[in-house]
Amino acid sequence: MGDLSNYACSDFSDGRWTRPVYRRGQGPAVIVIHELPGLHPLVVDFADRIVAAGMSAWCPSLFGEPGRPVGRGYMLGEALKAICIRREFHVWAKDASSPIVDWLRALARQAHAECGGQGVGAVGMCFTGGFALAMMTEPAVVAPVVAQPSLPLIAGSKARAASIGASPQEIACARARFEDEDLSMIGLRFKSDKLVGDARFDRYRAEFGARFEAIEFEDADAAPADVPPHSTLTLHLRADGPTAEAADRVIAFFRRRTGA
C-alpha cells in the first residue's frame, strides 16, 4: 500500500490555517483531498497513480494521522471530531462550502505557480468530496472530481439530501467557467450509498447538465471490505472491472485538463 515516506512534507499556510502537505512527482499538480479517517495508505495509493501518470500529487492532511491505516475505531473517532469539534468543516450547511475550502484554494494557487501546466486538478473524497467543486472559484482549478461527496450530512433531511455543499455563488461560478472555458467535472458513487443518495447526483445533473459526468457503481463492483460500498477510489476500488476503469478515467481526465 501507499507509503508516505516517498513524499516530501512541508507546512502550508493561508494566513488562517496551517496544514502539512505531502508532495511527490513532476508535472502539473493534482490536489488529492483525503477522506475519513485521514490520509491513509489507500489514498496514497491513488496519489501514486497520479504520479505514475506524469503529474505531481499534492496531498494535504486535514485530519487524522497521516499514513495510519483505516480502522473502525479510528474512523469513528475522526468522524465524531470532524462533526462535533472542528470549525473548518460545515457538515450540516445546505448552501455553503466549508471554511477549509479557502485554504485549499490557496494551496491550488501555490501548486499551479510551482508546477505550471494548464491548471490544477482536484479530487475530494467522502467528507471532502464536494470541496473540489467549491474550489472552482479559484481560476487555477480546471479539473474537479467529486468522489462519494457526503456533505452536507443527510440525517433525514430532504433538503440536505439534495444539497451539494456549495454556495449559490460557487455553483454559479463553476457553471460559468464550465461553459466559458469548456471545462467539466466527474462525480463517482455507489448507487446504494446512503451518504450520497440519488437526490444529490440529480442536483449535480440539474445544475451542470452535460458538464457533469456521473460514474455510478453497483454493489457487486466493490472490492470486499468491512464497510458497505462507499469509497470509490480507495477502499472499494478493485484491480479490474468498473471501479478500475473509472479510476483510469479520472487519471485521464486530470492529464487532459492539466496538460500533463
Instruction: Give the pLDDT confidence of 82-109 residue by residue, as tens digits.
Output: 877 678 888 888 889 999 999 999 999 9
- Go through the domains of the chain in sequence order and give each one's CATH number: 4-258 (3.40.50.1820)
pLDDT for 136 beyond 70: yes
Instruction: Give the pLDDT confidence of 55-74 residue by residue, as tens digits.
Output: 999 999 999 999 999 998 99
pLDDT bucket at 218, cuts 50 / 70 / 90: very high
Per-residue model confidence (pLDDT) at position 85 = 64
CB-based contacts of 175, cutoff 8 Å, min separation 6: 207, 208, 211
Decide: residue 32, CB within 10 A, 0-12 exposed, 13-18 middle, 19+ buried: buried
- In order of 119, 242, 252, the CA distances from 122 in angstroms are 10, 21, 13
Calculate what percentage of the chain has a pLDDT beyond 70: 99
